[in-house]
Amino acid sequence: MSQASTSTPASNRLWLKDPLAVHLGAGVDPAAAARGIVIDRDSGIIVELVPAGGEPSGSDATGGDSAGGAQTARAAQAITVVDASAHVITPGLVNTHHHFYQTLTRAWAPVADMPLFGWLINLYPVWVRLTPKALELATTVAMAELLESGCTTAADHHYLFPTGMDEAIDVQVEVVRRLGMRAMLTRGSMSLGEKDGGLPPQRTVQDAEVILADSRRLVEAYHERDEGAQVQIAFAPCSPFSVTTELMRESAVLAEELDVRLHTHLAETIDEEDFCRERFGLRTVDYLESVGWLGDRAWLAHGVHFDDDEVRRLGEAGVSVAHCPTSNMRLASGIARAVELEDAGVNVGLGVDGSASNDASNIIREVRQALYIQRLRYGAEAVTCARVLDWATKGSAAALGRDDIGTIEVGRQADLAMFRLDGLSFSGSHDPIPALVLCGAEKADRVMVGGRWRVVDGHAIGADGVELDKEALIAAHQEEARRLVAG
């Protein structure tokens, strides 16, 4: 029998039929959904997994389609059928750490060969010229690129609020709604400038009172709490070297009051570790605990340089970590202890990080990078293709505090990515799930968010159902990128 949970009328259902493979999670028998997934199109919920040899319950399925466009049912009691036989289906991928605005400064020669601190020092004067128009374009480019790589939910860490950028998160909310993705938009902050011993120039910092007031405003205006939430808000003081201790503490108190999550960069580089020792007399995790952040409300970007005791403490506290392999390699920051963190109880998710330290917003590519860099540390048997896919899906969802996305289960949101394994790069491959990771998938063919198609034939479609005009977007984005670096 198939796994079903509701008596939703069949005419409201969509059957992704006979997929090439379905990733249900490491150690989960894929036969449970071998004949596909049934979605209630009204609620956007997965209502049935059709096992090997099974049929959808409750009605006869008619029609048939090649996933080039869902066919309308020909009878009132028919399930709309999409032929998924050429596709590997995964849960919608979840990106736990990004800086959307950085799509404007990809591959900039002056910082191409620098580690983190030098990279930041040279980019801050460029980023301070950010405008609402530039941010809107940068956010659209980042999210569209993510969508086309199979991503359905993305967390963005925006901490730049120079003059004229007071409503930066409001700008991003509009883009999220226009594209029909889900997002965790973090109200980032920098309050420790150069004159007080921090890294950022004074033009990039704000007073704590301004930051906290705007944080409260954004939660009250936009934060959604129900299952299927599209927009959520979190607080994200940037890092120990750019935010005062007082603001870290006050952000934690406000997050507790408003019941939202906390995010920051931590233990990314040895330079950061040295900064914490010199300024606070503490290692990074001790500092985290001292400001009230060592708990399950927090997820940390990078988490490269933790010792054994810190790994244990993070796991016991329920802290989550966003592993960003490409950025860590690009900036030569190190290799996160992802396997040990997960084994200790930490939710490990994946993040592409900013497009100035990754130079791409491609989450399926990040899965492959995570596989290879973690195998260097732990070996092939410990770091399987299924495990890294779990990091990009249910691990990432858990890091963002969500249990309604990240898995293909009855009752979960119908957030799905469908990948084709054709073309020269897949020729000769044998097993679909390993092929997806090892042969290097770059783009999804189809992506669904809440039962609605957001990518069709590899092209992003907005919430209005119209294909994104990428040519016009790229032209406008390139113009803003040139303006930004020209000064």
pLDDT per position as a tens digit, 204-263: 999 999 999 999 999 999 999 999 999 999 999 999 999 999 999 999 999 999 999 999
Residue 470 located in a structural domain: no
The answer to whether residues 378 and 428 belong to one domain is: no
| Residues 166/233/214/100 CA torsion (nearest 10 deg) | -20
The answer to whether residues 62 and 159 belong to one domain is: no
How many structural domains comprise the chain? 2
CATH of the domain at 433: 2.30.40.10
The answer to whether residues 289 and 179 belong to one domain is: yes
- Predicted confidence (pLDDT) at residue 35 exceeds the cutoff of 90: yes
- Asked if residue 346 lies in contact with residue 314, where contact means CB atoms within 8 angstroms, the answer is yes
Structure tokens at 379: 């070996």
The answer to whether residues 234 and 150 belong to one domain is: yes
Residue 477 located in a structural domain: no
Residue 141 CA to residue 118 CA, distance in Å, equals: 26
Contacts of residues 478-486 at CB distance under 8 Å and 24 or more positions apart, as own/partner, are: 480/104, 480/131, 480/133, 480/134, 480/137, 480/138, 481/103, 481/104, 481/105, 481/106, 483/129, 483/134, 484/104, 484/105, 484/126, 484/127, 484/129, 484/130, 484/134, 485/105, 485/108, 485/126
Residue corresponding to tokens 């796991």 = 315
Residue 487 located in a structural domain: no
The answer to whether residues 272 and 168 belong to one domain is: yes
Residue corresponding to tokens 């956010």 = 139
β-bridge mates for residue 449, sequence order? 452
Residue 65 located in a structural domain: yes
The answer to whether residues 28 and 175 belong to one domain is: no
- Asked if residue 196 lies in contact with residue 119, where contact means CB atoms within 8 angstroms, the answer is no
Residue 288 located in a structural domain: yes
The answer to whether residues 427 and 310 belong to one domain is: no
**pTM of this prediction exceeds 0.85:** yes
Residue 484 located in a structural domain: no
Residue 114 located in a structural domain: yes
Which residues, other chains included, contact 227 with Cβ-Cβ below 8 Å and sequence gap of 6+? 404, 413
The closest alpha carbon to 440, from 377, 354, 367, 335, belongs to 367
Residue 475 located in a structural domain: no
Structure tokens at 133: 């128009």
The answer to whether residues 215 and 344 belong to one domain is: yes
Q: Which of 74-88, 288-302, 465-479 has the lowest mean pLDDT?
A: 74-88
Work out the number of other CB atoms within 10 angstroms of the CB of residue 71: 17
- Predicted confidence (pLDDT) at residue 301 exceeds the cutoff of 60: yes
- Give the residue from 378, 399, 420 where a domain finishes: 399
pLDDT (average), residues 463-480:
98
φ, ψ of residue 347 to 5 degrees: the values are -75, 115
pLDDT greater at residue 65 or residue 391: 391
Work out the number of other CB atoms within 10 angstroms of the CB of residue 112: 10
Residue 362 CA to residue 359 CA, distance in Å, equals: 9
* pLDDT tens-digit series, residues 66-92: 554 444 333 344 689 999 999 999 999
pLDDT of residue 361: 98
The answer to whether residues 99 and 65 belong to one domain is: no
The answer to whether residues 212 and 350 belong to one domain is: yes
Domain that holds residue 278: 93-399
- Give the residue from 348, 378, 399 where a domain finishes: 399
CA 363 from centroid of its chain's CA atoms: 7
Q: In whole numbers, what is the pLDDT of the chain averaged over residues?
A: 94
Q: How far is CA 384 from CA 79, 80, 368, 391, 441, in A?
A: 36, 35, 11, 11, 16
The answer to whether residues 388 and 339 belong to one domain is: yes
The answer to whether residues 17 and 150 belong to one domain is: no
CATH of the domain at 255: 3.20.20.140
Residue 235 CA to residue 13 CA, distance in Å, equals: 38
